[in-house]
Every structure is written in structure tokens, then in C-alpha cells.
């Protein structure tokens, strides 16, 4: 069963309950964030970079530590292109299943991997997106306690089940609005199609007057909106 139709409903239920997470930016600004989870990947991430570069667009990448350690040169290329970097855990294990010590360890190990590859200090990399978007109030409490910023989503086209490039683009275009936080994947699941998807998607969004910003900019806009 595809969950895609349910994600907008999850969003409407969860977003008001956990207002300290970043779910979207300012609804009064035509700024949106394109984000990529599960990388860096030796093939798919460079393909994504090439498209972003072609349109001079800055995106945000939520990385798995294990993938950074496998492809440090690609991680470095993403960082040097000026994209925003966040954490997605070390190896995609659900945060809710980890003990507090294991959770802390998986985030710190990922920060170390990013530091080794990109020379970004741990305090520069503190945005965290939980794998599969799964978290509990206890998870969030720990993240805040350790000074991380939880980043969620407002548009999830379920690209990892590979419904086809056009379907993914269509789902995003139906849901996108001011401040949207769009989740795509450049890892082993869904990454095969991601460059082709954004190659179609970006011109459509630009045509509608959207500006692409990083997750960091959305945080700033969300703050000024309250």
C-alpha cells in the first residue's frame, strides 16, 4: 500500500502537536526548501548536484554517517557547493528504537564523519531529520536537550517506492505552497530517479515564482513569522 495520500493528513495532525520542530517555512513567503535524505550516494548524489548547479539552486542534504564514510569526496563536493548539511542518523535505524546513549552516539558519529569529510564543525551540523520521519516526544526532548534542531517535512511524495518520475513531480506540484519543505531521496531507495525528477520539477517551480532556500533559512523565516 502506498502511503502518499496519507502524508498530508499526518502533517496536519502532527504539525500543531510538535510546534518546536521545523515543518515548513513562512506561509507568507514564496520560499521553499528542497531536501534530500539518505545520501551521499556515489552515483545519485553527483547527478543531483549537477542539476542543482545547472539551476544555481541551494538545497539541504540529510546524511547517514555510514554513507558519508563511504563517499567522503562526494560529501565534500556537496558541502563545497554551498548546500546545507543535516543529520539523518548513522545507519537509518529508527530513533524511537534506540536508547538515549545509542541515539546520542549515532548523531555524534555522523557529525564526526561529516567533520572528517567536509571540515564542518559539529556545532555547524545540528539539524536532524529522524529516519522515516519517526519520532516520539521522548526523542524530541533528547534532541532539544542536546541542542539539535528537529527538521520534519510538509511535502512527502513517497519517491522511495519509485512510483515513477511523473507521479512524484505531480504529487509535489499538487501539494507545494509557500514555505513548503519537500523531501526527496538521493540514497539507495529512490535515488535512481531523483535527478530526472528534479530536472522536471525545478523549472516548474521556478515558473510559479518559488525561490529555493535552505532549511536554515526556513528556520529563520519560521521564527520571524511567530
**Catalytic annotation, residues:** 37, 185
**What would the grid cell of residue 79 be?**
558541502
Beta-bridged to residue 37, according to DSSP, are 62, 185
Beta-bridged to residue 62, according to DSSP, are 37, 86
Q: What gap in Å lies between CA 99 and CA 132, rounded to an integer?
A: 18
CB 184 within 8 A of CB 190: yes
H or E stretch covering 142 = helix 137-145
Beta-bridged to residue 127, according to DSSP, are 149
Which segments of 51-180 are extended strands (E)? 60-63, 84-87, 127-128, 149-150
Amino acid at each position: 500500500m502506498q502511503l502518499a495520500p496519507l502524508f498530508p493528513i499526518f502533517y496536519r495532525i502532527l504539525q500543531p502537536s510538535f510546534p518546536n520542530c521545523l515543518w515548513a517555512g513562512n506561509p507568507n513567503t514564496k520560499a521553499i526548501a528542497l531536501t534530500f535524505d539518505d545520501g551521499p550516494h556515489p552515483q545519485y548524489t553527483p547527478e543531483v548536484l549537477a542539476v542543482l548547479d545547472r539551476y544555481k539552486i541551494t538545497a539541504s542534504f540529510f546524511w547517514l554517517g555510514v554513507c558519508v564514510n563511504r563517499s567522503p569526496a562526494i560529501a565534500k563536493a556537496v558541502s563545497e557547493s554551498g548546500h546545507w548539511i543535516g543529520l539523518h542518523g548513522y545507519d537509518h535505524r529508527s530513533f524511537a528504537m534506540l536508547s538515549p546513549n545509542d541515539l546520542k552516539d549515532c548523531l555524534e558519529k555522523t557529525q564526526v564523519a561529516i567533520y572528517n569529510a567536509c571540515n564542518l564543525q559539529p556545532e555547524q551540523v545540528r539539524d536532524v531529520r529522524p529516519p522515516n520521519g519517526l519520532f516520539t516526544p521522548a526523542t524530541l526532548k533528547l534532541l532539544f536537550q542536546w541542542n539539535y534542531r528537529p527538521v520534519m517535512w510538509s511535502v512527502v511524495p513517497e519517491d522511495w517506492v519509485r512510483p515513477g518520475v511523473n507521479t512524484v513531480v505531480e504529487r509535489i506540484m499538487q501539494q507545494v505552497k509557500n514555505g513548503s519543505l519537500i523531501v526527496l531521496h538521493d540514497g539507495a531507495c529512490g535515488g535512481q530517479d531523483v535527478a530526472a525528477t528534479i530536472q522536471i520539477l525545478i523549472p516548474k517551480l521556478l515558473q510559479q515564482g518559488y525561490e529555493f532556500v535552505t532549511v536554515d533559512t526556513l528556520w529563520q523565516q519560521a521564527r520571524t513569522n511567530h
